[in-house]
Amino acid sequence: MQSEGASAVVFGGASGLGEATARRLAADGARVVVADLAAERAAAVAAEIGGVAVATDVTDPAAVEAAVAQAAQAPGGLRIAVVSAGLGTPAKLVGRDGPTPLDAFARVIEVNLIGTINALRLAAGAMLANDPDERGERGVLVATASIAAYEGQVGQVAYAASKGGVVGLTLPIARELAPRGVRLVTIAPGLFDTPMMAGLPQAARDSLAGTVPFPPRLGEPDEYAALVAHVVANQMLNGSVLRLDGALRMAPR
């Protein structure tokens, strides 16, 4: 799939990995809808890249439909959809005061897993209405998991479970959509320099960066965006989960 002239939507596109992706796709010639709950920041990013912002909660079907419809109205229809919206709220199964309230787990799973499914189903539905391009392709979906899906740490009960769910849905969705020319690839990032990480003290950031075998640093959002761009361009990438982690394997704590 060529980014040049394509219509794209990036869920979670107002910051972090999603913002970098929105900027990269726009630089590659795509028309980008920046869909994010942070409406003002989404509007600012969209203005800078010549895109359109849509205030979007990925757990709200109507909001996601509006973002998809905005992208799908472009000539050729929606061709690229990236889902990077998510929460990383930590919680142990049992805390100092006893079992953690169920709502703490439910919200993370609702956003990270159900929200991803919601965005994928509506974006895929729009893509299936497209005419195939010269290579038989109608669209490309990119989801975001985490290496926590494989090596979740203490306190990542809901986060690891939600990202494990994203890993698990990748192949069945890719198999379902393959006969119609729509691909799905999931990226599982390691430790990246995102707003979530920026809230940590510098000493903690340095300590985490030092756990990455090579390169011994935090990943840069532009590196995630570069992989998205490659997934879009490389038609043989389908149904796979790509670890982007510098060979990191997370310790228990």
| Tokens linked to 54 | 């849509």
CA distances from 229 to 43, 80, 141 (A): 22, 10, 11
How many Cα neighbours within 13 Å face the side chain of 138? 18
The verdict on whether 224 is a catalytic residue reads no
C-beta neighbour count of 175 within 10 angstroms: 12
Phi-psi region of 246 (alpha: psi -120 to 50; beta: other; left: phi over 0): left
Using DSSP's 3-state secondary structure scheme, residue 29 falls into coil
Contact 184, 143 (CB under 8 A): yes
Amino acid letter, 170: T
> Which of 11, 105, 159, 224 is the catalytic position?
159
Q: Which residues are catalytic?
A: 159
